[in-house]
Amino acid sequence: MTGTASTATASTTTGWVDPREQIEFGVLMANGRLAGRRFASRHEAERWAQDDEQVVEYNLVCECAV
C-alpha cells in the first residue's frame, strides 16, 4: 500500500501533462524553414511573423501538424 500511495502523490506533485496535448507554435518563414524560436501562444507567434510568413502549430511527440 505504501508504494501505491507514494506513486499517486508523486504524479500529482509533478503535474503530469499528456504529451499528445503539448502543442508548439512556430513561424514558417518565406524560405520554407521554421524560425529558430518557439512561442508561448499563437497570438505571440502572429505578432512576431512577417506578412509573408505563416504561423504553424505542431506536436513534437508525434511530429504532426495540428
Burial class (CB in 10 A: 0-12, 13-18, 19+), 1: exposed
| pLDDT per residue as tens digits for the range 3-62 | 555 445 555 567 888 887 888 899 999 999 999 998 999 999 999 999 999 999 988 777
User: What is the DSSP-derived secondary structure letter of residue 60?
Assistant: T
**Cα(23)–Cα(62) distance, rounded to whole angstroms?**
11
Taking residue 38's Cβ as centre, other Cβ atoms within 10 Å add up to 13
Q: How is the chain split into domains, by residue range?
A: 20-40+48-55
Cα separations in angstroms, 45 against 3, 4, 7, 14: 44, 42, 38, 28
Task: Read off the pTM.
Answer: 0.63
